[in-house]
Amino acid sequence: MEYEISLLTSMCISVLFALSLNLITGFCGQISLGHAAFLGIGAYLSALLCKAGLPFLATLPLAMLLAGCIGIVVGLASLRVRADFLAITTMGVGFLFVGIVRQQDWLGGEMGVSAIPDSGLSKMGFMLLTLGLCIATALLCVYIRRSWMGRVFNGVAEDEDTMRVLGIDVPRYKLAAFAIGTALAGLAGALYAQNLKFIGPDSFGFVESITVLSMVVVGGIGSVIGVAVGAAVLSALPAWFQFIGDYKLLVYGGLLFLMMRFSPGGMAALVTRMIGTAKGGRA
């Protein structure tokens, strides 16, 4: 039973992390290849504060605040670049974060931070907390998607220049997307650190950024339910099929290729198309 609880906890953290990237890339069309850095910011802050004696639950809003503030700074630096140049900029942020962590002894350096104090919750209690935060994040994403802000995000993703002509303050909404998305990534990072009780720089590198992007693409960019399902499935695959563990990147790359070839809209578009086909057949 403990194994199932641990697996479900990890799946919920992955879903929350993927939803945070979906807000930036899926909703607003801003490509981020360094999103794992914000997961790391939340993880390191929460771990260090817990070791300093602060209760785990008190570290959650602080992790979100710091990650969100740094996300705004990155967003400000990225306002003048688009598409490939934005991807390269965010990739650089990820490399910068890992480089800083490796060189700072007070952050654990190459050895990372271990023996993170317990949250005070049972395994079941921590899983329920993670699940609750995951559901709340999904509901927030649905609300944003259906709100005026979500419509503007979609417009910015589709045609940024047209939105400027219509009088929309595009930089403001881009910063909002970065702030919300990175704050949620910081929250996922705090949960990640508490779940593993150990964090190191290798946990937040470029590979992790590509992994979470794979979850978003496979699930369906812009789809809340699709991304949640895609993240849950991809995070559970190594546990369900042990042999995948050593070939995780190969499997993820293959799934990305197949999705881009046969269903660019991800699992969400594939399911929608299958339902449409079934209804057409019955008619």
Q: Is residue 52 part of a domain?
A: yes
Q: Is residue 223 part of a domain?
A: no
Q: Is the pLDDT of residue 262 over 80?
A: no
User: Contact, 223 vs 75, CB < 8 A?
Assistant: no
Q: 199: which strand partners?
A: 113
Q: Is residue 139 part of a domain?
A: yes
pLDDT tens for each residue of 209-252: 988 988 898 888 888 998 998 898 888 877 766 666 567 677 77
**CA separation for the pair 88, 94 (Å, rounded):** 10
Q: Is residue 279 part of a domain?
A: no
CA distances from 4 to 95, 181, 234, 239 (A): 34, 28, 16, 10
User: Contact, 55 vs 63, CB < 8 A?
Assistant: no
CA angle 33, 16, 103 (to 5 degrees): 50
Does the CA dihedral 84-89-92-93 come out positive or negative? negative
**CA separation for the pair 90, 74 (Å, rounded):** 8
Residue corresponding to tokens 């990305």: 256
**CA separation for the pair 93, 39 (Å, rounded):** 12
Contacts of 64 (CB under 8 A, 6+ apart): 42, 183, 184, 186, 187, 190
pTM check: above 0.85: yes
Q: What integer is the mean pLDDT of 193-212? A: 90
User: Contact, 254 vs 214, CB < 8 A?
Assistant: no
- pLDDT value of position 274: 61
Q: What integer is the mean pLDDT of 36-49? A: 95
CATH code of the domain covering residue 41: 1.10.3470.10
Q: How many CA atoms lie within 13 A of 48 on its CB side?
A: 15
Q: Is residue 142 part of a domain?
A: yes
Q: Is residue 266 part of a domain?
A: no
Q: Is residue 62 part of a domain?
A: yes
User: Contact, 165 vs 20, CB < 8 A?
Assistant: no
Residue 113 backbone phi and psi in degrees, to 5: -115, 125
Q: 113: which strand partners?
A: 199
- pLDDT value of position 193: 94
Range of the domain at 39: 2-206
pLDDT tens for each residue of 81-128: 766 778 888 888 899 999 999 988 888 888 889 889 988 889 999 999
Q: Is residue 259 part of a domain?
A: no
108: DSSP letter: T
In the chain, the number of structural domains is: 1
